[in-house]
């Protein structure tokens, strides 16, 4: 027999009672409770802790004197951050090439196996030349920079330096009604925009967090850097003698990054005054003591995490995209492949923004992963059935010029690469973080609209002035 004893009082009644009591004290119980807990904490601390602190300023204090000073604060910050970016870009070259060689050699092996198994051409095409090739590309391009950038960044975090960056720059963000911690999400965005979007969790205010998510794509990720560097080296570096080529290219890319940052501030400001208008932002930032980072553990964990991420993304996003791209390039309607048809259809629109149909199509097909934009472009230009790599920059230069690239095309391509829609992984992360289709759509729409607007303006202006 079960006797269900009815409680003599329900939870709801107790809540009402508590509400009544709380309101009689003008709702100050919350404060009192916290105060009281601290009184207890103080008592315990006084009885159990003895401090013999010296009067001399601690090492922490002296470090902060330098790292947050008017004179050295900003320069050191710029030096450290650009140092990491430079290390990432240059350090990734050789490993990328090595991984690429291994993976593409295996591709050739796969082709042989497929032939031996008597597989039809189209199957080899879709699976090996499409899916596997795309996967190999994404891994060889993305893995080394991620494996360098994120461990370095995590080291800075473990050191305790990153809050100082937010501390130094908060004022600029405050002027846009955003949070100083946004600079940290932007830095993460350099590594990978998807990681940058997830990093927005460190921002407490939901409104400011959204601003950071919506603007993260204005910072170019590791996947876009090879494209930017290649185009900048060919068209801007190519103007000067070869010894200054890299320097000029670096300058151009740096200017692009700065442009991206300026646009971030502008859009953050605009959002705060329009659709994301809300309560004024506030900042409560803990500046932890500097601590020696655990080098080994960090490097190990970070590299493993990033490797797994790149592999997962390659399999989920890049491989299927590769299959679709191969199909588009190898299915013909009449004389032309689907790609040529699509490019022709897009061309008038693309021309208006200083590009051509193939370039715009390459960006569109590169939605799953920015790394494959240039390979798709080359494939389309050369009517090859598979994505292509260029052997030397000279080769790429010749191909592009043959296809009618001018300085304007290069400029607009650079701008569009900086200012276009986020990749699918980033969009997916944005959806998970915001939980809203509307905000995810805006994450897509805002950079795209600005990209089109800027390129259109530049192209039309240049043509109007007779410069191109």
Q: Using the rule CB under 8 A, which residue among 283, 316, 327, 468 binds another protein?
A: 283
Is residue 183 within 8 Å of 208, Cβ to Cβ?
Answer: no
Stretch of 218-226, 232-240, 281-289, 413-421 lying at the interface with another protein (CB under 8 A): 281-289
Residues 74-133 that bind another protein (CB under 8 A): 74
Nearest to 193 by CA among 220, 211, 214: 220
Q: Using the rule CB under 8 A, which residue among 26, 53, 56, 241 binds another protein?
A: 53
CB neighbours of residue 429 within 10 Å: 25
55 contacts another protein (rule: CB under 8 A): no
Stretch of 12-20, 223-231, 327-335, 380-388 lying at the interface with another protein (CB under 8 A): 12-20
Buried b (16+ CB within 10 A) or exposed e, 211-241: bbbbbbbbbbbbbbbbbbbbbbbbbbbbeee
Residues 157-186 that bind another protein (CB under 8 A): 160, 163, 167-168, 170-172, 174, 180
Assign 404 to helix, strand or coil: coil
17 contacts another protein (rule: CB under 8 A): yes
66 contacts another protein (rule: CB under 8 A): no
Nearer to another protein, 64 or 371 (CB): 64
Min dist CB 410 to another protein, Å, is 37
Q: Using the rule CB under 8 A, which residue among 30, 120, 334, 466 binds another protein?
A: 30
Question: 233: which DSSP letter?
Answer: I
Min dist CB 187 to another protein, Å, is 18
26 contacts another protein (rule: CB under 8 A): no
Q: Using the rule CB under 8 A, which residue among 26, 54, 241, 392 binds another protein?
A: 54
Residues contacting residue 389 through CB under 8 Å, at least 6 positions apart: 100, 137, 375, 378
Residues 409-468 that bind another protein (CB under 8 A): 432-433, 435
Residues contacting residue 421 through CB under 8 Å, at least 6 positions apart: 217, 367, 427, 444, 447, 448, 451
Min dist CB 417 to another protein, Å, is 29
Q: How far apart are CA 186 and CA 219, in angstroms?
A: 6
383 contacts another protein (rule: CB under 8 A): no
296 contacts another protein (rule: CB under 8 A): no
58 contacts another protein (rule: CB under 8 A): yes
Buried b (16+ CB within 10 A) or exposed e, 187-199: bbbbbbbbbbbbb
Stretch of 29-37, 95-103, 115-123, 374-382 lying at the interface with another protein (CB under 8 A): 29-37
Angle at 414 between CA 326 and CA 306, to 5 degrees: 65
56 contacts another protein (rule: CB under 8 A): no
Residues 199-258 that bind another protein (CB under 8 A): 201, 204-205
Min dist CB 169 to another protein, Å, is 8
Structure-token pair, residue 204: 């407490």
Residues 297-336 that bind another protein (CB under 8 A): 297, 301
Nearer to another protein, 256 or 430 (CB): 430
Q: Is the dihedral of CA 277, 283, 284, 287 positive or negative?
A: positive
φ, ψ dihedrals at 333, nearest 5°? -115, 110
Min dist CB 430 to another protein, Å, is 11
Min dist CB 285 to another protein, Å, is 4
Half-sphere exposure of 448 (CA within 13 A, CB side): 14
295 contacts another protein (rule: CB under 8 A): no
Q: Using the rule CB under 8 A, which residue among 26, 47, 56, 392 binds another protein?
A: 47
Half-sphere exposure of 382 (CA within 13 A, CB side): 18
Is residue 212 within 8 Å of 182, Cβ to Cβ?
Answer: yes
């Amino acid at each position: 027999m079960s006797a269900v004893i009815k409680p003599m009082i329900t939870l709801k009644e107790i809540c009402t009672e508590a509400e009544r009591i709380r309101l009689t004290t003008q709702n100050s119980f919350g404060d009192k409770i916290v105060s009281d807990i601290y009184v207890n904490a103080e008592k315990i601390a006084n009885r159990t802790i003895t401090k013999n602190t010296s009067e001399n300023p601690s090492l922490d204090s002296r470090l902060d004197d330098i790292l947050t000073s008017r004179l050295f604060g900003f320069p050191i910050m710029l030096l450290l951050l650009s140092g990491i970016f430079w290390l990432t870009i240059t350090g990734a070259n050789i490993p990328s090439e090595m991984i690429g060689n291994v993976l593409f050699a295996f591709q050739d092996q796969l082709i042989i196996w497929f032939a031996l198994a008597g597989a039809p051409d189209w199957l080899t095409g879709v699976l090996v030349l499409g899916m596997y090739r795309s996967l190999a590309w994404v891994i060889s391009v993305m893995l080394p920079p991620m494996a360098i950038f994120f461990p370095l960044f995590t080291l800075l975090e473990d050191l305790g330096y990153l809050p100082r960056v937010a501390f130094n720059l908060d004022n600029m963000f405050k002027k846009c009604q955003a949070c100083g911690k946004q600079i940290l999400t932007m830095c993460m965005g350099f590594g990978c925009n998807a990681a940058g979007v997830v990093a927005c969790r460190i921002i407490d205010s939901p409104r400011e967090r959204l601003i950071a998510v919506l603007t993260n794509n204005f910072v170019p990720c590791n996947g876009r850097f090879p494209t930017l560097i290649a185009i900048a080296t060919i068209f801007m570096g190519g103007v000067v003698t070869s010894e200054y080529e890299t320097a000029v290219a670096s300058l151009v890319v740096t200017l692009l990054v700065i442009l991206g940052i300026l646009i971030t501030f502008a859009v953050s400001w605009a959002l705060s005054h329009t659709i994301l208008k809300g309560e004024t932002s506030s900042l409560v930032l803990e500046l932890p003591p500097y601590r020696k980072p655990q080098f080994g553990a960090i490097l190990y964990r970070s590299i493993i995490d990033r490797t797994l991420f790149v592999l997962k993304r390659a399999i989920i996003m890049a491989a299927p995209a590769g299959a679709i791209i191969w199909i588009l390039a190898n299915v013909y309607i009449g004389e032309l492949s689907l790609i040529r048809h699509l490019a022709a259809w897009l061309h008038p629109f693309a021309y208006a923004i200083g590009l051509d149909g193939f370039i715009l199509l390459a960006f569109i097909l590169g939605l799953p992963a920015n790394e494959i934009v240039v390979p798709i472009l080359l494939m389309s230009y050369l009517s090859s059935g598979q994505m292509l790599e260029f052997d030397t920059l000279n080769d790429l230069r010749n191909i592009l010029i043959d296809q009618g690239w001018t300085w304007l095309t290069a400029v607009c391509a650079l701008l569009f690469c900086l200012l276009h829609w986020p990749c699918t992984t980033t969009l997916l992360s944005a959806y998970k973080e915001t939980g809203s289709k509307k905000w995810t759509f805006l994450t897509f729409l805002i950079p795209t609209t600005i990209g089109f607007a800027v390129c259109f303006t530049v192209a039309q202006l240049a043509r109007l002035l007779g410069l191109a």
